[in-house]
Amino acid sequence: MTANQAPAKLPASAIGAAVVIAAIWGFNFVVIKVGVAGVPPLMLAALRFLFSALPAVFFVKRPKAPLRSIAAYGILLGVGEFGFLFTAIKLGAPSGLSSILLQSQAFFTALLAALFLKERLRAHNVAGMAVAAAGLGVFALSSGGASGGMTLPLLLMILLAALGWAAANVAARTMPGASALGLMAWSSLFSPLPLAALSLLVEGPRAIGAAFAGLGALTIGALAYLVAMSTLLGYGLWNHLIMRHGAGRIAPFSLMVPIFGIASASLAFGERFGPLDVAGAALILAGLLVHVFGGNDHRAKRDER
């Protein structure tokens, strides 16, 4: 496909898969809050990626990609995204608001893909981002007023987590021949050691030892969800969609994560949401539709002439 050709419309199966992933990742913020209550955040992230790699790497072939690319993806995702995200939530970042702010990765992804991969940004892409950004802003104002606790350092940590996720998205796009599940399993080998080292340095062996000594069923269940649902299934399928349809077209679906995240936080922790949250969700959905579908019909008609 040349730069002037219109991309094919996303099939319904891809849209459905992306929505399912958004639901899994939305509930993930509730699971993270439960998990970091029992295990220090950096160590929890290390365990997440350790069990995502083992024993999977013994049964899944190494992806057909340079080892340095696989390692870069693992470090960007494991340390860059989840190291910052888990720590921010442990330090008091509200789970609902965190699920919203993390979705700035969609904008970072599209911009990084345009800069490094030469994926073209069209007018409707920019318009969709602007509408969705307005929705995120409404969500942030609403949740910030209701939940509080989002200090500037925590906000910066969430934005750094979003940048790490975006960079991982772009790294995945550079490995089109790689197996999605293989990439997730093998790249996870490169996250546990740096995360564990940071945990020992920042959180300390005493806190880690106490967490392991008092490990309960709820914490184990949270870790199992993080490994099986969020990492192997969620990111494996996410990578498949990005490799097949492009980072800039798939990443905006993550803008639906806050809708599921806010709902999950409300059910699990009693976090309230009102008219502003509904308005924010509507703007995010509208922006997503414009970003993904806007301009397709127009370009198709133009190409038929």
Is 25 within 8 Å of 229 (Cβ atoms)?
no
Assigned domain for 7 exists: no
Full domain range(s) for residue 141: 12-304
Q: What are the pLDDT digits (tens) for 40-64? A: 999 999 999 999 999 999 999 999 8
pTM over 0.85: no
Assigned domain for 187 exists: yes
What pLDDT was estimated at residue 140?
67
Rounded Cα gap, residues 114 and 195, in angstroms: 30
Assigned domain for 4 exists: no
Q: What are the pLDDT digits (tens) for 12-45? A: 899 999 999 999 999 999 999 999 999 999 999 9
State mean pLDDT over 176-187. 87
Assigned domain for 5 exists: no
Is 74 within 8 Å of 157 (Cβ atoms)?
no
Is 233 within 8 Å of 56 (Cβ atoms)?
no
The fraction of the chain above a pLDDT of 70, given in percent, is 88
What pLDDT was estimated at residue 258?
83
If phi > 0 it is left, if psi is from -120 to 50 it is alpha, else beta; for residue 223 that is alpha
Assigned domain for 186 exists: yes
272 has pLDDT over 70:
no
Assigned domain for 3 exists: no
Assigned domain for 137 exists: yes
Assigned domain for 216 exists: yes
Tell me how many domains the chain contains.
1
